[in-house]
Structure 1
């Protein structure tokens, strides 16, 4: 190998390697691609209407499991997610319109459609609140790998519900795509949605 060829190779190799490593050249699968998360469900929305997963076909779903009587994280997380979606609406209204925010209750005894209507209406006009029978909620929680457990009632009859704290972005066919940073800033949440809702 002569010196001229060697020097040319030394100069060209970093450029070739750099070109092969640019984000545009790489196709990255969503973090939850092929994960066993999600499945069919039929629940009741905040208007009292029966709704199934098929009603959201063709839409991305931003899904959060919680309960309206939650004293701390649920209202904060849902507010963050709603604010992030509103940021995305300003950035890319067409993309944001393809994302349905969904709140699924893990406290069906107290979260009636009327209670859910007031709760989700406080955060985003397009947010869907879903509840159901204890058996229906247990099934959808299993499908989405959500842990929840009602704690013992206090002297007044009040209780809390321990549950998984997670926000999923699901694809138009109900496939899992990514976790969304529900405790992130509105811009970070919008970034998550923009990155994976494509």
Structure 2
């Protein structure tokens, strides 16, 4: 983990975290919250604070929107395929959680959104996601589309491409978002969340929404 990445992560957590819980929540905290039993921290803000409309390009080269992607509970992760450490670990963790949930009869879509669109073409993203999980959906896009999606999800990233090193790094925050169709953002998983814990908490939200 680079120093820039660590500082960015701390800054984002400091901006969004409310209360003493270990997760970040942006939904209602009153009696009307249908997911109250699933949450582990103080809830603040509104559900629209994270997430929103986006237009990206799928690993098959098709232009897709958030409505096309989030048709079932969806675990969204922002990273890049050349990432040497964090992204492979996080995406494998997400895939393991998806398999646990499948064993419980709950279908969840693992999704990978690149923050390095210059290198991560649809073909490159497809090779990466196919290696992680057969159902993982990879998304890329233009730099402008990537910026818009990252802004919507409050994702920090910094590209270190100076034109001299093809193996440049991209600093980025590494959180996974649980999105529900017609509801939007409901949960935020930090890196230390285990596959079993992610699966259990995702199942709670999925069951509460059904």
TM-score of the aligned structures, taking structure 1 as reference length = 0.78
Q: Does 1:86 align with 2:95?
A: no
Q: 1:170 aligns with which of 169, 176, 179?
A: 179
Separation of aligned partners in 1, 2:153 and 2:109:
17
Q: What is the Cα deviation at residue 158 of structure 1?
A: 2.2
CA contact (8 A) 1:56 1:172 kept: no
Separation (CA, whole Å) in 2 of partners of 1:137 and 1:113: 13
Moved >6 Å (runs of 4+)? none
- Alpha-carbon displacement from aligned partner over 1:80-138 (angstroms, at most 9, x marks no partner): 11011101111x22x2x2x2111000000000000011100011111110000000000
- The residue aligned with 1:141 is 150
State the distance in 1 between where 2:90 and 2:145 align. 24
1:196 and 2:205 matched: yes
1: CA distance, partners of 2:98 / 2:79: 18
Secondary structure, aligned partner of 1:117: helix
Q: Which runs of 5+ in 2 are unaligned?
A: 1-34
Larger Rg: 1
CA gap of 1:190–1:121, structure 2 versus 1, over 3 A, is same
How far is the alpha carbon of 1:61 from its aligned partner?
A: 1.4
Task: Judge conservation of contact 1:57–1:174 (CA < 8 Å) in 2.
Answer: no
How many residues are aligned here?
Answer: 169
The question of whether the paired residues in 1 share the 8 Å contact of 2:77 and 2:112 is answered with yes
Q: Is the 8 A contact 1:180 1:192 kept in 2?
A: no
1:1-198 equivalences under 5 Å are: 27-28=36-37, 30=39, 31=43, 34-35=46-47, 36-90=49-103, 92-93=104-105, 95=106, 97=107, 99-153=108-162, 156-173=165-182, 175-198=184-207
Query: Any gaps of 5 or more consecutive residues in structure 1?
Result: 1-25
Distance 1:164 1:146 in 2: 6
RMSD: 2.1
Q: Tell me, yes or no, if the aligned pair for 2:81 and 2:128 is still in contact at 8 Å.
A: yes
Distance 1:151 1:197, change over 3 A: same
So what's the TM-score if we normalise by structure 2? 0.74
